[in-house]
Structure 1
Amino acid sequence: MSDSLKVGWIGLGAMGAPMALVTAQAGHEITAFDMDPAALENVAPLVASASTSRDAATGADVVVIMVATGAQLEAVLFGEDGIAEVLSPETTVLVMSTVGPAAVESSAARLASYTTRFVDAPVSGGVARAGTGDLLVMVGGSAEDISRVHSLLDAMASTYPVVGSRVGDGQRFKVVNQLLCGVHIAAAGEALALAESMGLDIAQCHEVLNAGAAQSFMFNDRGARMVEGNFDEVKSALNIFVKDMGLVTDAARAVEQPVPLASAAEQVYLRGRREGLGRKDDSVVFEMLKKRA
Structure 2
Amino acid sequence: MTQNIGVIGLGAMGRGMAQSLRRAGCTVHVCDVRAEAALAFAAEGGVACASPAELAAQCEVVVSVVVNAAQTESVLFGEAGAASAMKPGSLFVMCSTVDPNWSIALEKRLAALGLLYLDAPISGGAAKAASGQMTMMTSGRPEAYAKAGGVLDAMAAKVYRLGDAAGTGSKVKIINQLLAGVHIAAAAEAMALGLREGVDAAALYEVITHSAGNSWMFENRMAHVLAGDYTPLSAVDIFVKDLGLVLDTARASKFPLPLSATAHQMFMQASSAGYAKEDDSAVIKIFPGITLPARTGGA
Same-fold call, TM > 0.5?
yes
What's the CA shift for 1:188?
A: 0.3
Question: Is 1:183 equivalent to 2:182 in the alignment?
Answer: yes
What's the CA shift for 1:28?
A: 0.8
The residue type equivalent to 1:34 in the other structure is: D
> TM (normalized to structure 2)?
0.92
Tell me the equivalent position of 2:282. Answer: 284
Alpha-carbon distance between aligned partners in 1 of 2:253 and 2:3, rounded to the nearest angstrom? 38
Tell me the equivalent position of 1:41. Answer: 39
Alpha-carbon distance between aligned partners in 2 of 1:141 and 1:122, rounded to the nearest angstrom? 12
What's the CA shift for 1:89?
A: 2.2
What's the CA shift for 1:264?
A: 0.7
Alpha-carbon distance between aligned partners in 2 of 1:103 and 1:89, rounded to the nearest angstrom? 22
Question: Is 1:11 equivalent to 2:25 in the alignment?
Answer: no
Check conservation: 2:35, 2:50, Cα contact below 8 A: no
> TM (normalized to structure 1)?
0.94
The residue type equivalent to 2:61 in the other structure is: V
Question: Is 1:159 equivalent to 2:149 in the alignment?
Answer: no
Farther off after superposition, 173-182 or 222-231? 222-231
Deviations 1:42-77 (A, max 9, x none): 312322111111000014211111111111111111
Farther off after superposition, 23-32 or 96-105? 96-105
Tell me the equivalent position of 1:241. Answer: 239
Check conservation: 1:31, 1:50, Cα contact below 8 A: yes
Check conservation: 1:87, 1:114, Cα contact below 8 A: no
Q: % of aligned pairs identical?
A: 38
Check conservation: 1:7, 1:64, Cα contact below 8 A: yes
Question: Is 1:53 equivalent to 2:52 in the alignment?
Answer: yes
What's the CA shift for 1:179?
A: 0.3
The residue type equivalent to 1:31 in the other structure is: H
What's the CA shift for 1:145?
A: 1.2
Check conservation: 2:52, 2:76, Cα contact below 8 A: no
Deviations 1:188-208 (A, max 9, x none): 000110111111112111111
SS in 2 for 1:7: strand
Check conservation: 2:104, 2:166, Cα contact below 8 A: yes
RMSD across aligned positions (CA): 1.5
Tell me the equivalent position of 1:171. Answer: 170
Check conservation: 1:87, 1:115, Cα contact below 8 A: no
Deviations 1:240-279 (A, max 9, x none): 1111111111111123221111111111111111111111
The residue type equivalent to 2:16 in the other structure is: P
Deviations 1:79-116 (A, max 9, x none): 23222222222101111111231221222222222124
Alpha-carbon distance between aligned partners in 2 of 1:70 and 1:291, rounded to the nearest angstrom? 38
Distance 1:54 1:138, change over 3 A: same
What's the CA shift for 1:290?
A: 4.2
Tell me the equivalent position of 2:62. Answer: 63
Tell me the equivalent position of 2:295. Answer: none
Check conservation: 1:18, 1:130, Cα contact below 8 A: yes
Alpha-carbon distance between aligned partners in 2 of 1:168 and 1:230, rounded to the nearest angstrom? 36
SS in 1 for 2:249: helix
Alpha-carbon distance between aligned partners in 2 of 1:175 and 1:9, rounded to the nearest angstrom? 23
The residue type equivalent to 2:78 in the other structure is: G
Structure 1: runs of 5+ lacking an equivalent: none
Alpha-carbon distance between aligned partners in 1 of 2:248 and 2:149, rounded to the nearest angstrom? 31
Alpha-carbon distance between aligned partners in 2 of 1:48 and 1:255, rounded to the nearest angstrom? 45
Tell me the equivalent position of 1:23. Answer: 21
The residue type equivalent to 1:49 in the other structure is: A
Structure 2: runs of 5+ lacking an equivalent: 291-299
Instruction: Give 1:1-293 correspondences, 5 Å limit.
Output: 3-45=1-43, 46-231=45-230, 233-291=231-289
Aligned length: 289
Q: Which runs of 4+ in 1 moved over 4 A?
A: none
The residue type equivalent to 1:236 in the other structure is: S
